[in-house]
Structure 1
């Protein structure tokens, strides 16, 4: 660990010395070099801002598209549920109508049989 720390410190000192020598031996005046560095940094900041804005716009567009897809899926699911409910409601109405018709038929048959039995009983009584 100590050796790694020494190595990193030596690299940092070497990099700082190289930068200082580069500035001292530069072919341009210090003011020109500072202006070049300033221009480079301003360009880098501008490019970073543009990329950040582009990324932000892309994220907003993706979010909007995703929200639209979710709304569409929710709407489709709700419509499917309503259609299913309506289908069940129609089936229940149809079945209840069938049950009512069957009950009515059974009642009419029962009345007819009761009337027949009553007529037979009445005829038997009158013959006796």
Structure 2
């Protein structure tokens, strides 16, 4: 098979794209780079170097809440370069009033977990095996 270089973007179904864009821009440091209406759906794209997230709603969503146990997305994980950077993220999230977990170690690395306004699980991850 030909090479895959990286994930191009994420596309998330959210209840309020404007609210979600504000959250991602404030918490992850993205900025809104595109906004349109497609039929009755709103689409916003937020981005920063290496990360692009499409946020869209649907006129009749199957459910009003995110559930990681449902078939589909369990969580979104972003790679963080070092333990020091992850600690800085943790400090910044807490200072901004964003509810998040403590930094947790696993055999795979270090994890910091939070949720967006719709409860979509977000993980900040350092590949630093214990």
Rg comparison, structure with higher value: 1
TM-score by length of 1: 0.18
Structure number with higher helix proportion: 1
Structure number with higher strand proportion: 2
